[in-house]
Amino acid sequence: MTAQSLKRIKAVAWKEFVQIKRDPRSLGLALAIPIFLLLVFGYGLSLDIDHVRTVVWNQDATSKLSRDFLLNFKNSKYFKIVKYTDNYRDIQYMIDSGEVMMALVIPKDFSHYIDSKQPAPLQLIIDGSDANTATIARGYVSSVVSSYNIQLITNTLADLGLKPTQGIDVRSRIWFNMGLTSTWFIVPGVIAMIIMIIAALLTSICIAREWERGTMEQLISTPVKAKELIIGKFIPYFAIGFFDLLVGVLMAKFLFKVPFRGSYFLLFFLSALFLTGALSQGIWISVVARTQLMASQLATLTTMLPTVLLSGFIYPIFNMPKFIQAITYFIPARYYIVVLRELFLKGGSLESMWDEALFLLLFAFLMFGLAVKKFEKKVV
């Protein structure tokens, strides 16, 4: 690249910096949105389900056995008994109104069944409008009931002077996220989402704005080449995107207490590749759209929705239908999220993320090449 070429790139970049400075609202949004999204997703989005609001109708309330059984739910962090009732009408009303999510109904002969060594029925009513939460809540109930059954069997055998078989003693060891804190899983994904969305949205309007304001013809008439114009417009937004990345990493580490166990050099190098691809994609969209409204809509459609739904940010990819899993291979954020979670939680090396690094490199080159080629067609 010649000195004249560098001089032209510098002039375009300076022009874009001035344009950004003249539009403080856009700059403020570019700097404030990452903080806002991290706060909203970090604090508001949790995959942990605790304190399931529960109503209880204990028809055998005079029995010590039924009260002891309910203690297992009272002492569990997963349930919160908010009310006791004596009829189904209250149960229906509380579930319909959303006041509780589930109800436990203990029959009047509950203790009699247990004393006579028969299976004791227990009715569980769950609001299934949120299928995922209902499934998890039912699993919690099954776990509590299983623990209670084991205790009953142990006590019965002890009364007979028999020693129960110990069976299998599972000793779990959870790696990388010992407390199973969902924030540690979510926040790195939010950083990827922020970089993708902000980068594409910011750059998607930069070329379209020139066409709308009639200044593109002036740029075309100058000696500035297509590649130089793309790079010049790229530089200011790369600086903003990198600043957003730094904010995200600092908030993840010091505000949300997500451990960082990898290499900062590797983080910023791979992030630069992803950011380059995202910015180039935004510029390509801007060249194709030629209007700011259409450019912003296309950027939202091609970045926000795929990143949130198909990247593994929230929903595990292996649970998706096979044809959807095939589509996710073309979602860049899928690979960048793996990189972030590897670096934050596992302390991964380039060797363990070689496939992801290669795809991010290809993504950066491909999108930059498409942006330059498409802009050359517009110039002609």
pLDDT grade for 338, boundaries at 50, 70 and 90: very high
pLDDT at 377 (0 to 100): 45
- Grouping H, G, I as helix, E, B as strand and the rest as coil, residue 47 is coil
Whole-number Å distance between alpha carbons of 213 and 20:
15
- Grouping H, G, I as helix, E, B as strand and the rest as coil, residue 104 is strand
**Domains (ranges, CATH) in the chain?**
3-45+181-379 (no CATH), 52-159 (3.40.1710.10)
Q: Tokens 């539009």 identify what position?
A: 23
What is the length of the chain?
380
Q: Could you tell me which residue, 55 or 49, shows the higher pLDDT? A: 55
Number of DSSP helices (H) and strands (E) in the chain, helices first: 16, 4
Cα–Cα–Cα angle for 252, 39, 312, nearest 5°? 70
Cβ–Cβ under 8 Å, residues 265 and 350: no
pLDDT at 376 (0 to 100): 63
- Nearest one of 192, 216, 365 to 280, comparing CA atoms: 365
**Digit-coded pLDDT (tens) for 55-71:** 999 999 989 999 999 99
Cα–Cα–Cα angle for 96, 102, 108, nearest 5°? 110
Q: What is the mean pLDDT of the chain?
A: 86
pTM over 0.85: no
| Segment among 75-79, 160-164, 198-202, 375-379 with least mean pLDDT | 375-379
| Segment among 158-162, 295-299, 354-358, 360-364 with least mean pLDDT | 158-162
pLDDT at 166 (0 to 100): 66
Whole-number Å distance between alpha carbons of 188 and 185:
7
Statement: residue 379 has pLDDT above 60: no
pLDDT grade for 217, boundaries at 50, 70 and 90: low
DSSP state of 170: -
**Digit-coded pLDDT (tens) for 236-257:** 889 988 999 999 999 999 999 9
Statement: residue 11 has pLDDT above 50: yes
pLDDT at 18 (0 to 100): 84
pLDDT at 23 (0 to 100): 75
Please report the beta strands in 116-258, taking only residues with DSSP state E, as ranges in sequence order: 123-126
pLDDT at 219 (0 to 100): 72
C-alpha distances in Å from residue 1, one per residue of 4, 6, 7, 227, 274:
8, 7, 10, 11, 24
Residue 242: both structure tokens together: 């990198």
pLDDT at 230 (0 to 100): 83
